[in-house]
Amino acid sequence: MSGQCCSFIFAFTKEKVKKGLVEYNKEKPFFISRNEDGYCPNLNRHSRQCTIW
């Protein structure tokens, strides 16, 4: 899988969140959100590529 960071747990900067380009966890502000499969919603499941970086 190319999007290795899509399985990591990390926080975004306030600037990234304010730009509205990333989905973050509403229960843990600034931390990356996760889909049911455990991966970031920015991972394209067909191409296995990150859609924001």
**What local confidence, expressed as pLDDT, does residue 1 receive?**
47
End-to-end CA distance of the chain: 15
Q: How far is CA 10 from the centre of its chain?
A: 9
* pLDDT on residue 3: 59
Mean pLDDT of each 10-residue bin along the chain, 53 residues long: 71 87 85 88 87 80
User: What is the number of alpha carbons within 13 Å of residue 23 lying toward its C-beta?
Assistant: 11
**Model confidence pTM above 0.85:** no
Amino acid at 37: D
pLDDT recorded at residue 2: 54
